[in-house]
């Protein structure tokens, strides 16, 4: 009887080992990925959603699992630092920083441990010191950029209103993503001989006060780059601007989703997909971030809010015709809080 039990135990062990080996062959590899979003806004949320969806699809295709930990620091530097430390403590295989401030914090936190970092929607990765060059980032970081063609946005302003002679520049001075585009906008307007004035805010309330000021000053149009602070405030300011007859030209389609007249820039859904592809390349193929080129995109899409267009007394078809020679495409949109609300 004892011999029979011993044989049965040995067989059970063999079967157990065989099952484990089969599971490993079937693809039980797990990669831990930590994603931190800077703030809750339509563009950045769209990026995160598409990263997650793309990694899920790749995982199913390749027979691996991407175990994703996601958090949003809501522009709080202390919360951001804690989230990153939690990722490190959890021994993640890779971190994803959505927007410049998160990417910079992740870069600083991984200098010693070498955890790979992939950033998403960093407008100017070179001037912020994240990478040495776009083709060869160096160190342990690479990612996707939503760099803005500022001159193209400026041209849209004058395509719609050739007589515009007073432009408001609305942005948060603390946003790295605004530094270069605002300087480029000023250079463009200086060359054209058009007056401009800066209006700043770091909170929704401050942005609303800045909008009140530019309305009182009689601005002909407003320009905002890919500035997350103004994006967060857009739903609180778009109606006042429309009622005052002042079109708001911005650096992302999410601004137009939230009521701005025009959002010009990259396809953030596609940026999220490509960020997911980059993450998979680093983890599955062993690619080195230092040698993986930063990915940039054609940002020639103008998204026009048709409701705001009407409120401004403009005709969408006329606007689209004026913009068409300056864009890859012109798309209409209506006001909503998120892209999911349009479904």
Q: What is the DSSP string of 21-59?
A: HHHHHHH--EEEEEEEESS--HHHHHHHHHHHHHHHHHH
C-alpha 48 chain-centroid distance: 8
**What Å distances lie between residue 159 and 40, 156, 326, 330, CA to CA?**
32, 5, 9, 14
Q: Note down pLDDT in tens along the chain; length 343 residues.
A: 444 444 344 444 444 434 333 333 435 799 999 999 999 988 999 999 999 999 999 999 999 999 999 999 999 999 999 999 999 999 999 999 999 999 999 999 999 999 999 999 999 999 999 999 999 999 999 999 999 999 999 999 999 999 999 999 999 999 888 999 999 999 999 999 999 999 999 999 999 999 999 999 999 999 999 999 999 999 999 999 999 999 999 999 999 999 999 999 999 999 999 999 999 999 999 999 999 999 999 888 999 999 999 999 999 999 999 999 999 999 999 999 888 887 5
Q: By the 8 A CB rule, do 304 and 327 touch?
A: no
Please classify residue 162 by burial: count the beta carbons closer than 10 Å to its beta carbon, then call 0-12 exposed, 13-18 middle and 19+ buried: exposed
236 and 155 housed in the same domain:
yes
CA–CA separation, 144 and 277 (whole Å): 11
Task: Indicate if 258 and 276 belong to the same structural domain.
Answer: no
pLDDT for res 5: 40
Domain of residue 216: give its range: 150-266+299-342
CATH number at residue 189: 3.40.50.2300
- Residue 160 falls within a domain, yes or no? yes
Number of domains in the chain: 2
Under 8 Å between Cβ of 194 and 223: no
Domain for residue 239, yes or no?
A: yes
Report DSSP letters for 172-218, one per residue: -TT-HHHHHHHHHHHHHHHHHT-EEEEEE-SSHHHHHHHHHHHHHTT
Is 20 part of a structural domain of the chain?
Answer: no
Best CA proximity match to 247, nearest among 330, 170, 329, 336: 170
Q: Is residue 10 a part of any domain in this protein?
A: no
Residue 339's pLDDT is 86
pLDDT at residue 3 in the model? 44
Statement to judge: residues 110 and 131 lie in one domain: yes
Q: What pLDDT is recorded for position 343?
A: 59
- Residue 315 CB: number of other CB atoms within 10 A? 11
Query: Under a CB-based contact definition with an 8 Å cutoff, are residues 238 and 258 in contact?
Result: yes
What's the pLDDT at 196?
98
Co-location of 45 and 156 in the same domain:
no
For residues 97 and 122, what is the distance between their CA atoms, to the nearest angstrom? 9
Q: Is the dihedral of CA 217, 222, 228, 230 positive or negative?
A: positive
**Does 239 share its domain with 250?**
yes
Does residue 50 share a domain with residue 86? yes
3-state secondary structure of 170: strand
* Cβ proximity of 131 and 140 under 8 Å: no
12 within some domain? no
115 and 168 together in one domain: no
Residue 13 counted as domain residue: no
- pLDDT value at residue 4: 43
Residues 236 and 304 in one domain: yes
């Amino acid at each position: 009887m004892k011999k029979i039990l011993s044989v049965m135990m040995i067989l059970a062990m063999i079967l157990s080992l065989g099952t484990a080996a089969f599971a490993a062959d079937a693809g039980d590899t797990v990669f831990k990925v930590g994603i931190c979003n800077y703030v809750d806004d339509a563009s950045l949320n769209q990026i995160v959603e598409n990263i997650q969806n793309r990694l899920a699809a790749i995982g199913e295709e390749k027979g691996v699992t991407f175990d994703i930990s996601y958090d949003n620091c809501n522009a709080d530097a202390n919360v951001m630092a804690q989230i990153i430390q939690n990722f490190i403590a959890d021994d993640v295989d890779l971190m994803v920083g959505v927007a410049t401030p998160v990417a910079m914090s992740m870069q600083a936190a991984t200098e010693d441990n070498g955890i790979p970092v992939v950033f998403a929607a960093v407008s100017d990765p070179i001037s912020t010191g994240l990478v040495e060059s776009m083709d060869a980032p160096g160190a342990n970081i690479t990612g996707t950029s939503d760099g803005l063609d500022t001159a193209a946005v400026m041209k849209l302003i004058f395509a719609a209103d050739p007589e515009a002679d007073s432009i408001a520049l609305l942005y948060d001075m603390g946003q790295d993503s605004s530094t270069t585009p605002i300087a480029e906008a000023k250079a463009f307007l200086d060359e054209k001989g058009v007056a401009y004035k800066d209006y700043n805010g770091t909170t929704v309330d401050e942005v609303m006060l800045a909008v009140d000021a530019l309305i009182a000053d009689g601005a002909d149009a407003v320009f905002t780059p890919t500035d997350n602070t103004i994006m967060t405030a857009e739903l609180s300011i778009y109606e006042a601007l429309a009622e005052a007859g002042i079109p708001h030209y911005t650096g992302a389609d999410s601004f137009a989703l939230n009521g701005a007249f025009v959002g010009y820039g990259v396809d953030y859904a596609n940026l999220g997909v490509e960020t997911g592809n980059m993450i998979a390349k680093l983890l599955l193929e062993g690619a080195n971030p230092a040698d993986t080129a930063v990915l940039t995109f054609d940002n020639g899409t103008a998204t026009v809010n048709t409701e705001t267009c009407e409120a401004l007394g403009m005709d969408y078809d006329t606007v689209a015709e004026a913009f068409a020679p300056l864009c890859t495409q012109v798309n209409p949109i209506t006001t909503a809080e998120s892209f999911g609300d349009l479904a």
